[in-house]
Amino acid sequence: MNIEDLMVWIWLAVFVITVCVEAATQDFVSIWFAIGSLIALAICYFAPFYVEIIVFAVISLVSLILTRPLVKKLMDRNERYTNTDEFVGKRTILEKRVSKFNAGEVKINGIIYSAILPEAETADIEQGTVVEIVALKGNKIIVRKTEEKEGE
């Protein structure tokens, strides 16, 4: 086996490993090295070993620099923002009594949501009490009693 045949197998192995790493992570961390290894594989019969390494490094680096910002922008599009984040810290009036074992109700922006107590809380909160939204858990809003009175 001559050096050119050996290099074909090495570049093929690099390509397969980088594609497997990419498939396992799904974060576009090694796809550029797969591209570089394919180009190095294509020239391995025509160029010496050190040229193949340089081509691999240059192609990988250039493809990384040119496409990473675009890929990052496309990946960020999958992130969905909702208006529920604005609820945390907001105060509202409890529409229906809430206890440790029974969900209550709060009205926010004209919409009624189920309200529950934080896990450490044991005291019931009566209807008409001003509550603060501390977190969201699935489709439930976690509330705690405030010192504020209705109408303040």
Is residue 144 within 8 A of residue 131, CB to CB? The reply is yes
**Residue 65 within a domain:** yes
**Residue 152 within a domain:** no
* Per-residue confidence (pLDDT) for residue 3, from 0 to 100: 82
CATH number at residue 139: 2.40.50.140
Q: Report pLDDT digits (tens) over 52-100.
A: 999 999 999 999 999 888 887 777 765 555 666 678 888 999 999 998 8
Please state, in angstroms and rounded to a whole number, the distance separating the CA atoms of residues 151 and 128.
Answer: 10
Q: Which residue has the higher pLDDT, 87 or 11?
A: 11
| Residue percentage of the chain with pLDDT more than 90 | 38
Please state, in angstroms and rounded to a whole number, the distance separating the CA atoms of residues 112 and 95.
Answer: 8
**Residue 151 within a domain:** no
The dihedral over CA atoms of 122, 126, 129, 131, expressed in degrees to the nearest 10, equals 30
* Per-residue confidence (pLDDT) for residue 34, from 0 to 100: 93
- Which stretches does DSSP call E strand in 1-152? 91-96, 104-108, 111-116, 130-137, 140-145
Mean pLDDT across the stretch 140-145?
89
Is residue 144 within 8 A of residue 117, CB to CB? The reply is yes
Q: With 0-12 CB in 10 A as exposed, 13-18 as middle and 19+ as buried, what is 133?
A: buried
Nearest 5 degrees, angle CA 119-CA 124-CA 104? 80
* Per-residue confidence (pLDDT) for residue 17, from 0 to 100: 95
* Per-residue confidence (pLDDT) for residue 82, from 0 to 100: 66
My answer on whether 51 and 88 are in the same domain is no
As for how many domains the chain has, the answer is: 2
| Residue 101 pLDDT greater than 80, yes or no | yes
**Residue 15 within a domain:** yes
Question: Residue 43 CB: number of other CB atoms within 10 A?
Answer: 15
My answer on whether 116 and 57 are in the same domain is no
Residue 45 structural domain? 3-76
Please state, in angstroms and rounded to a whole number, the distance separating the CA atoms of residues 46 and 103.
Answer: 73
**Residue 150 within a domain:** no
